[in-house]
A and B are shown apart, each in its own frame.
Chain A
């Protein structure tokens, strides 16, 4: 695949980031969630930001119409931030909505149009039932040829998993190991929806059974727990409940500025040195269903722009909407060879203390997946890790100067990849 080496008109840096608590909040709307993230962003700018200086907003939001009866979310949020009459644009690209909002903000600054841009995303999903969310997210599939076949969003990733199992010999246990790893990280992230390990979830259920005088489950470890269909029922085989990211309310945002003014906001900006975006067909039309071409293309574009290679990148946030997606994702970004993700998860290479830590935030699986907010939330984790501010989940024994985010939309027809540098 030939990918043109592109360059930005001028450099762009992140000088602030904010993430709301992720979870289920019946008393909070998208507006409340975004303001929570924005307030944290303001606190994170070392030398402060006067909100009046922000020139434009790019906001990721995927299913506002379904969840809150609200399209055109961007000007509404801008109105709550006091940004009227400045331009505010909603970016809808399924689960990569804010990943593309980030890219649009970068392009706007690199073009010279603006110096200071707010990018972010929000999704308020828990207003809907599980069936309602299944229906709403299903709208990101091919409505003419995938949904009539009965496919759901988990179902499409499950189908990808069956081809991956057939081609590379992956077992259901490999998917489970991804979930265990990401929960181990999410347990250290106070913002995570599931701020707990799977072992603790298991022990909690055992304790509850004892307390209620019910038969005590005999799981000896989290693997046995995950293999018990009562504890971990099938959603779309081979994807089970603990293979799926949850239904989440949340928001995230980043303050992007032109490189030449970055140091007036902080001594340690995080520079975005590579951006890539790609597209792909629906799953059934892809030549190889065990890989996502949009991601490979976006990765190559981002690597070429940044002038770095996969082996140079120290950590990454990878789009684990389903556990299979993380295995495919770490191959698509070139960290491991095709099928090599199986050995990587077996050997703990992607654990927080491994050679290539993946999803230190807990990933979508444990941190939560408010779809429109996920892309910029991934970047916010990188911002913390690069500045040594990730607290208990800070990657040990590594000074992080190069990192990557991999944000995929729908079943993979769209993907944005970004590469970050701390100088």
Chain B
């Protein structure tokens, strides 16, 4: 048993804070759910277990954002300093949205769908507001 936690967003985030990217797996049909879901969307059964993912994958879709969310503007991003957001396809199959770090967001033409990535964990906020965000970076 990898974790006894319930299959909630809170648990997913707590596990991210521990440096673990974890999905829920349906014990009946084997379908993987990332982020974790308590009910299998494939067979609609509710008997799930936690499974840890290796954190390796490839870039499936991306963008470099010049007009960002207020939170990202506070982090110093903007029209002259875009950031990269992407969708990563994990080796195990599921895809997830994540910040894409350590890439040249000013030259998006150089980024390629399919480029190999590895998981990273981004700490934001202090004290009670502390939160770990999912990120990926080039291998």
Q: A residues within 8 Å of B by Cβ?
A: 130-131, 134-135, 138, 142, 144-152, 154-156, 158-163, 165-166, 233-239, 282-285, 289
Are B96 and A150 within 8 A (Cβ)? no
Q: Is B73 at the interface (CB under 8 A from chain A)?
A: yes
Contact with A along B34-78 (1 / 0, CB 8 A): 010000000000000000000000001111111111101100000
Q: Is B19 at the interface (CB under 8 A from chain A)?
A: no
Which residue of A has the minimal Cβ distance to B136?
Answer: A149
Q: Is B99 at the interface (CB under 8 A from chain A)?
A: yes
B77-127: which have CB < 8 Å to A?
79, 82-83, 85-87, 95-99, 108, 112-114
Q: Which residues of A contact B133 (CB under 8 A)?
A: 148-149
Q: Which residues of A contact B85 (CB under 8 A)?
A: 149-151, 155, 159
Q: How many pairs of A and B residues are in contact by the CB < 8 Å rule? A: 106
Are B69 and A135 within 8 A (Cβ)? yes
Q: Is B26 at the interface (CB under 8 A from chain A)?
A: no
Closest CB-CB distance, A169 to chain B, in whole Å?
12
Please measure, in the bound complex, the distance between the C-alpha atom of A142 and the C-alpha atom of B113, giving whole angstroms.
22
Are A148 and B64 within 8 A (Cβ)? no
Q: A159-B85, A162-B62, A283-B87 are in contact. Are A150 and B68 (CB under 8 A)?
A: yes
Q: B residues within 8 Å of A by Cβ?
A: 9, 35, 60-70, 72-73, 79, 82-83, 85-87, 95-99, 108, 112-114, 133-134
Chain A, interface SS category? helix
Q: A131-B73, A135-B69 are in contact. Are A237 and B95 (CB under 8 A)?
A: no
Q: Which of A138, A152, A159, A284 has the most chain B CB atoms closer than 10 A to its own CB?
A: A284
Are B67 and A237 within 8 A (Cβ)? no
Please measure, in the bound complex, the distance between the C-alpha atom of A130 and the C-alpha atom of B65, giving whole angstroms.
14
Q: A145-B35, A159-B62 are in contact. Are A152 and B113 (CB under 8 A)?
A: no
Q: Which residues of B contact A150 (CB under 8 A)?
A: 65, 68-69, 72, 83, 85, 99
Are B69 and A147 within 8 A (Cβ)? yes
Known: A142-B97, A146-B97, A285-B95. 6 other contacts (CB 8 A): A150-B85, A152-B67, A160-B61, A166-B114, A236-B66, A237-B108
Please measure, in the bound complex, the distance between the C-alpha atom of A326 and the C-alpha atom of B103, giving whole angstroms.
29
